[in-house]
Amino acid sequence: MQKLQTTFILLSGSVMALGQAAAANSQGSASSGVDYQDSASPDTSSHYEASRERPNILWISVEDIAPILSSYGAKGISTPNIDRLAGEGILYRHAYSTVGVCAPSRSSIITGMYPVSIGSHNMRTGPHFAFRSPENETYQGYTGLYDHRGRVVPQYAAVPPPYVRCFTEYLRMAGYFTTNNAKTDYQFNSPITAWDRIGRQAHYVDRPEGAPFFAVFNDEITHESRIWMKKDDPMLVDRENVPVPAYFPVIPSVVEAVSRNYSNITELDRNVGRMLDELEKEGLLENTIIFFWSDHGGPLLRQKRAVGNSGLHVPLIVRLPNGEMAGTEVDDIVSLMDLGPTVLSLAGIRPPEHMHGRAFLGPYKTDNPHRYAFGSADRFDEVYDMSRSAIDGRYVYIRNFRPELPLIYRNAYREQIDMTPELIEMDRRGELEGDAAYIWMKTKPLEELYDLHNDPWEVNNLAECPDHREKLVELRTALAEWQLEVGDLGFVAEHDLVQMMWPGLVQPETEPVTFVNNGGMLELSSATGGASIAWQVEGRDDPAHWRLYHRPIEIASIDTGRGEVTRGEIVRARAVRIGYKTSGITVFGN
């Protein structure tokens, strides 16, 4: 395989300047804030040439897996279909999530922003697993959750700054048909403006003739919950050949859980094969860019919810049409929050400047890849903690802001995996030894430093080692500068954070849409800054499908199918800002 590596350059800046620049790009609820080109210039850096016929883009989004794939050199498993993607595409060796758990990670993916910068870092804020219609978006005031000062934390939707949007809106503005099947889990309800189709039936086959599509298919077969839900299913791997991480004792329940994870990945691989076959039969494979990625690392203890390599390192493979860059390996640091900007770039759309994510392919590919991957860990369900990390591809630095707490804390959800309560009991009895005892520390060091080349399981802390002092200072400084740059909200108690986003603990509501007929051009607006506007024609559009407003609508005598409104038709519209309650429907009759 061809290997690529670029020189790293650390970028720094001020949160205030970033916010002001982003706000300048988002003046007016109908402004796109993007530079869209029908024909993008050739991208000589990636050897991918954008054409006038915009490519289809498909995401295979999977859950809770580290790079445990044969294409990444993993032992004890065979993944021929994913290996095919890697052989025909680009394999990224150093891809990382921003958080080691699904909802905060997915909030960074849909917005292109660090969760700690937009208030979506605590797992989880509300019932946001899947889309709810605006009328069904309700929240519970009492959840049994309290912040570290003993104050109630209700269910809520995170409210990012007004310039933050779901990146799919920019695709819709450019004529893409967007579908999501079906998971959202963004820490806020998916706005009705984000997708053309969303839900278990959402599919690119519903697109208008000639429209390019961006389609997401979320496969949940490898989710943490499937470790116990599928424990009676046939095992698809040989237990004796599955490697057990050094931080686990080799006991039957551990071997079974690790093997089940490998077995579920094997089943996932078969699902990927079926999807590739379907694309090939439909004649879409060579006009579709395919992304394969996991939302964070593995599903077991010291993997899911962890802020080090075991929790953040993920597989990422991108297959371009017609064999472009086939068999390439890339060593650059890539973050999952780069996915949105990269999709925009490949579609010929300049990513908005406010995004922390950077395009790694396409005509707007960044000249400055990330020097470090930064990660965060805060509240996980009923348990509070706070750690941050910086990873340079070889070294992992972790700063623990709650060192008085244990590394492995009690968490009811993950204790449904049989091995977890058994290990808790073994630790209580003092039966764990060596590396298997390491992760059961009763308090955490202020700092951790691991050399992945010599210590892939992260069990030998080098933070106090004089020989690694220079690397420790480098990563410590980089992490501190990043926290200041993005305005790390982890230092705000969650009750106060909710009050900042929902004053009085009441969800703010988007102002309704107003209409102005300006010489036969219908202009829509909302008084709420950062609001997006959805509209439809009564009797002509599916009531469940909302168009995204981004330019004045022509009131024409004859509808030509380009978004005009025929005289006499009724236009319905509503506005929504992320985290706000969607406005009521307002009507214009011409």
Of the candidates 102, 198, 246, 318, the residue annotated as catalytic is: 102
Tokens encoding 84: 């095919």
Question: Do you find a cis peptide bond into 182, omega within 30 degrees of 0?
Answer: yes
Q: Do 304 and 109 meet the contact criterion of CB atoms below 8 Å apart?
A: no
Sheet holding 373-377, edge to edge: 373-377, 387-391, 395-400, 447-451
Q: How far apart are CA 61 and CA 216, in angstroms?
A: 7
Q: Which of 437, 461, 423 is nearest to 300 (CA)?
A: 423
Q: Do 222 and 65 meet the contact criterion of CB atoms below 8 Å apart?
A: yes
Q: How far apart are CA 101 and CA 297, in angstroms?
A: 8
Q: How far apart are CA 554 and CA 514, in angstroms?
A: 16
Tokens encoding 516: 């102005």
Report H helices in 369-507: 419-428, 435-438, 469-486, 494-501
| Three-state helix/strand/coil letters over 285-326 | HHHEEEEEEECCCCCCCCCCCCCCHHHHEEEEEEECHHHCCC
User: What residues contact 345, with CB distance under 8 A and at least 6 apart?
Assistant: 351, 359, 361, 362, 363, 364, 365
Q: Phi first, then psi: what are they for 218, rounded to 5°?
A: -100, 115
SS3 of residue 265 by DSSP: helix
166 in catalytic set: no
- Looking at residue 378, its amino acid is D
Q: How far apart are CA 561 and CA 222, in angstroms?
A: 42
Tokens encoding 454: 């010599």
Q: Do 168 and 194 meet the contact criterion of CB atoms below 8 Å apart?
A: yes
Tokens encoding 350: 């300049």
Measured on CA atoms in the order 206, 209, 214, 219, is the torsion positive or negative?
positive
Residues forming the active site:
102
